[in-house]
Structure 1
């Protein structure tokens, strides 16, 4: 709180808008920015500053009409508030896993205290559980840890979720199984293609399962894909998306974000080649801006060069070009 007040006092104006309050607050406490209770925590801090005489809040008419909770549209800063006592965190008995605590700001240390109490209380008795279950135990709020996370870690990568005995549960991946154990699975980007490939594969049995990647959501589903592979006895995973920069970016980001030991996806080259030769080309000017290196890493030099020509002409190819009729006709 003291750091937040000092930041507000650096400005020349006494009246500070809500936009400025949010900007200053989240710059000091970035872990809070993605939290569902960020407005409540900002309001709590403002009320604490009002209590010590550091600022005054406006009348009800100058508050937001919506919001959970509503926030004041501005506050009036007072230049001579009462002194704000600063807690001495050096007197805290910190768990060894939190040896990075001197690197944190006071606001972050306040957030770290419940984690410290949890680690000291549960030492040597942690079962790995979903993050929301652990968050509820530590903070009394099932969403708090999720809002603090960057990837699978907290406090700028200093504390991994493994230390708290928890993990972020990926959204489950819908899949349609075929009687083809030992074959790879095929992940498709779009849900209409999921139906078409799933229906075709019941007879073709080229894949142990067809998996619905659900666009951008697929990037963070490594554990879910691993579960699918185990359930269908799959031998690896291929990916097919739209032939546009986004459709290439998604599997690349999936592979880069996968944990050690998690499955990677490889391009379903036979389908990409078919799309290049026969797919419907649609205009999209933004396609000319693409990462050539990422494209080549995904498709290989020869195929990437062909795709680059399509994109440079301001066109892309939807994966729906290869639909159920074409698959059923045995065009491949």
Structure 2
């Protein structure tokens, strides 16, 4: 199905170009964001695999749908994959394909006739979906989105992709009409009943998550009632579970790396919550960020940022005068602060813990066993 997905990606690139009048040239930041928006399942992980984007671009270039820059200095590595700084959309010959506009659609799919553009491949897939709906008007039970997608298209990811593209353009919820439901990444974390208040902390990276959880177990009154593993970019899916797990009056805080991706994740999450669940309070874990900045400032270390992600606006006001200017200057220099700098030893000092058993400082197996027995 990769050819079909590449074709759908091309349609979204064209939509974006026409909407924003970019004269057929899209830089890396533009086409990368479109890929993340419509194909999130390929990059929602802590390590973010962008090889599928690389595959899409190569397919489009081979089919003469886009043109790559020829100069070698117009290419760079991003997450271990080589990408062009920009791509140029090649204007195709006028297409005479308009069957979707006159096709007698099933009433529930009638709005498909109103979309401006539809490829032959997507049209044929919509016919497959239409046939399924006609044969199964009232299924006995609903099944998950990927299970239904496999049943209809022979590809467990196709229904979700079509829903984010042609479904969005036609304002038809393909998940709902196919009698299916979306599932979300599960919450992985620990509960601390002695916490001072009902606050929730999401931590971007695994090591920092485990350390903060372990440290909290030795506090008489931990600052957070719940600490969850954010799983990098997966957090944008994980937050969908919040309404099923926590009440609206619980405060949510986030702690991640100080770099473009580290800020991109909570900013997108905040936008998503504001749109779908505005009653939730979402903030940054300011004290942890300021501690991280202080450690970096004191150590005088330079961590180069290899991430090509650029944000038009980064929210830094929560850092106050002390941190905002420092972080802005750091990012301008293409440097970053990984949250692992706030390691176990620093956390012990930060929370002024005096009673932690020595075995946890010298025997890594004791740490793992303690976590497994006490928190899972």
1:256 matches 2:268: no
Aligned-pair distance for 1:250? Answer: 1.2
Deviations 1:124-162 (A, max 9, x none): 6686542012223433543431343438x7364632233
For the residues of structure 2 that align with 1:162 and 1:253, how far apart are their CA atoms?
24
For the residues of structure 2 that align with 1:93 and 1:287, how far apart are their CA atoms?
45
1:315 matches 2:338: no
TM-score by length of 2: 0.56
TM-score by length of 1: 0.63
Judging changes above 3 Å, is the alpha-carbon distance between structure 1 residues 145 and 285 closer, same or farther for their aligned structure 2 residues?
closer
Judging changes above 3 Å, is the alpha-carbon distance between structure 1 residues 126 and 309 closer, same or farther for their aligned structure 2 residues?
farther
Aligned-pair distance for 1:240? Answer: 0.5
Q: Which residue of 1 aligns with 2:107?
A: 95
Within a 5 Å distance, the mapping from 1:39-78 to structure 2 comes to none
Aligned-pair distance for 1:212? Answer: 0.8
Q: Specify every segment of 5 or more residues in structure 2 that has no aligned partner in the other structure, as ranges.
A: 13-37, 43-54, 56-97, 353-376
Q: Which has the larger radius of gyration?
A: 1
Contact 1:288 1:314 in 2 (8 A): no
Local SS of the residue matching 2:316 = helix
1:166 matches 2:186: no
Contact 1:185 1:207 in 2 (8 A): yes
Q: Which residue of 2 aligns with 1:139?
A: 153
Q: Which residue of 1 aligns with 2:131?
A: 117
Equivalent of 1:178, from 164, 187, 192? 192
For the residues of structure 1 that align with 2:194 and 2:349, how far apart are their CA atoms?
21
* Paired residues, number: 261
Contact 2:232 2:265 in 1 (8 A): yes
Contact 2:144 2:181 in 1 (8 A): yes
Within a 5 Å distance, the mapping from 1:1-332 to structure 2 comes to 26=7, 90=102, 92-101=104-113, 103=115, 104-123=118-137, 129-150=143-164, 154=167, 156=169, 158-160=171-173, 161-180=175-194, 183-204=198-219, 205-229=222-246, 235-258=250-273, 260-261=276-277, 263=280, 265-279=282-296, 280=299, 281-284=301-304, 290-291=310-311, 293-296=313-316, 303-331=323-351
For the residues of structure 1 that align with 2:189 and 2:244, how far apart are their CA atoms?
11
Contact 2:202 2:255 in 1 (8 A): yes
CA RMSD across the alignment = 4.2
Judging changes above 3 Å, is the alpha-carbon distance between structure 1 residues 318 and 265 closer, same or farther for their aligned structure 2 residues?
same
Aligned-pair distance for 1:172? Answer: 1.6
Contact 1:267 1:299 in 2 (8 A): no
Judging changes above 3 Å, is the alpha-carbon distance between structure 1 residues 91 and 216 closer, same or farther for their aligned structure 2 residues?
closer
For the residues of structure 1 that align with 2:131 and 2:122, how far apart are their CA atoms?
15
Q: Specify every segment of 5 or more residues in structure 1 that has no aligned partner in the other structure, as ranges.
A: 1-21, 40-85
For the residues of structure 2 that align with 1:289 and 1:310, how far apart are their CA atoms?
15
